[in-house]
Structure 1
Amino acid sequence: MKIGLASKEFINKDIEKNTNTIIETMIEAKENNAHMICFGEAFLQGFDSLSWNYEKDKEMALSLSSLPIKILCNYAKKIGICVSFGYIENYKGLLYCSYMTINENGEIINNFRRVSPGWKESYADPTHYKEGTTFPTFKYKDLTFLVGLCGDFWHEKNIDMVSKIKKDIVLWPLFVDFNIQEFESQYKKEYAEQANKLKSKVLFINSISKESKAFGGSFEFLNGDILNELPIGTEGILYVEI
């Protein structure tokens, strides 16, 4: 199985542009014989798309039945590729930092909600801005996947929970804005070591944003080692063979 990890640029608050980027990348990945393509955290709206004014943010957030999600389901089926991406979800008026997977038949097969609170400002109204509580697994092409978003895997309680769950692949989409030098000299090794605690292969996917000063990068981690990488500061797709 061939999985693409997309180090691509999002534009904050421009859902149409980001949707088109996802579709174009799906086509590129399919042309390179990938079965699945994965994007970073909150890619569909952009990580800094929220104002923490609920009345505004509930309009930026998307439900599972929203037009952009329907478009991506249709294109997954049309192109014939599985796609995973982060987005801000509106579920019955509650807002989540979520991560969706759509299979090549256009069916939503997983919708994970970030468990840790680091995606939102401390003053965000907790009655509207919510987190999930579990790390569900899902099957795709005989492999068992589990998702955690960004800070989820920097909490020991979550690490302990996930390490005990049977899975083949952990998807770790995130948004980090370290500068290239400090990431290469320090944080890359720390992320590899942290991924090792999850007790499976881990696929790290970061996005690019000129506005939010993020530099992308994709990595394949196993046993504390970096098996493959698309270095931070590089736009493109890292292809991983499972």
Structure 2
Amino acid sequence: MRVALIPMRVKTGDFNTNWAEFKKRFDDVLAYNPDFLVFPEYCLTGFEEWDFSGAELYDEIVKRVSSLVRKNGVYVVFGLLEPYKNCVYNSALLISRNGEVLLKHRKFQEPYKFCTSNTVRTARTEYGKVAIIICGDLYNKRILKWVRRKRPDYLFVPMEYSPDYGQPNEEDVEAMAERVKLLGAKAFIVNSYPPGGAWVFDADGTLLASAEGDKTLLWEGQP
């Protein structure tokens, strides 16, 4: 099982620039024959409070990413804004090798102007059972109960850790490790750039691999 974590540069409100970056990073990493490509939270639109206009691109984004995935036969995890009735979810999708949406997660840990979710779902792949949570969900008590109940083998975590906080430091990584240990699933975490960064933790919270900035982190291990 090969996983590519891609801390993509995201320009808020500029879909065309973000799509060009997404496509370039996607194409570049194919040389390593990955099974999963994991991109950050709302990576194709960015988000600035409280501009939800990026949600209008939901259908177009799903169409484009699904087509790209179908042509290359890989799994892709990425975040995007999802319109729903009179509000918006901060969502993340797992697109299967055939270009279908295999799994959707709607974020729990969001301010009141977002819709928020109340469940965690899993999907079966040839490598085992997978789930997705998003950024601050990692520290959510309800998420902890759901993940421990569902018992996924792998947990994908797209993030958008604000550059205003500076680069994730040792304490931040230790906090991630503690949460992963409680969740009890191997976790793949990728942040948007800046400040970027990517981390792979074993189910017991051990840090297995990491990368800084916008460097792609390639991980290979046994399912």
Q: Same fold (TM over 0.5)?
A: yes
CA root-mean-square deviation: 1.8
C-alpha distance in structure 2 between counterparts of 1:51 and 1:161, whole Å: 29
Measured after TM superposition, the shift of residue 42 of structure 1 is 1.3
1:36-57 per-position Cα deviation (integer Å, ceiling 9, x unaligned): 1001111121132x535xxxx3
Measured after TM superposition, the shift of residue 93 of structure 1 is 4.2
C-alpha distance in structure 1 between counterparts of 2:68 and 2:127, whole Å: 23
**Percent sequence identity over matched residues?**
22
- Length-normalised TM-score, structure 1: 0.83
2:153 aligned with 1:160: no
Q: What pairs up with 1:51-70 in 2 under 5 angstroms?
A: 51-52=50-51, 57=52, 59-62=53-56, 66-70=59-63
Q: What pairs up with 1:90-129 in 2 under 5 angstroms?
A: 90-117=83-110, 120=111, 122=112, 124=113, 129=114
- Length-normalised TM-score, structure 2: 0.90
Gap runs ≥5 in structure 1: 210-214
**Structure 1 residue matching 2:183: 3-state secondary structure:** coil
8 Å CA contact 1:26, 1:81 repeated in 2: no
Gap runs ≥5 in structure 2: none
In structure 2, what is the equivalent of residue 237 of structure 1? 216
Structure 1 residues 62 and 240, CA, compared in 2 at 3 Å: closer, same or farther?
A: farther
Instruction: Say which of 77, 80, 83 aligns to 1:87.
Output: 80
8 Å CA contact 1:112, 1:147 repeated in 2: yes
Equivalent AA in structure 2 for residue 219 of structure 1: W
1:184-206 per-position Cα deviation (integer Å, ceiling 9, x unaligned): 23211111111111111111111
In structure 1, what is the equivalent of residue 23 of structure 2? 23
**Structure 2 residue matching 1:51: 3-state secondary structure:** coil
**Structure 1 residue matching 2:33: 3-state secondary structure:** coil
8 Å CA contact 2:10, 2:46 repeated in 1: yes
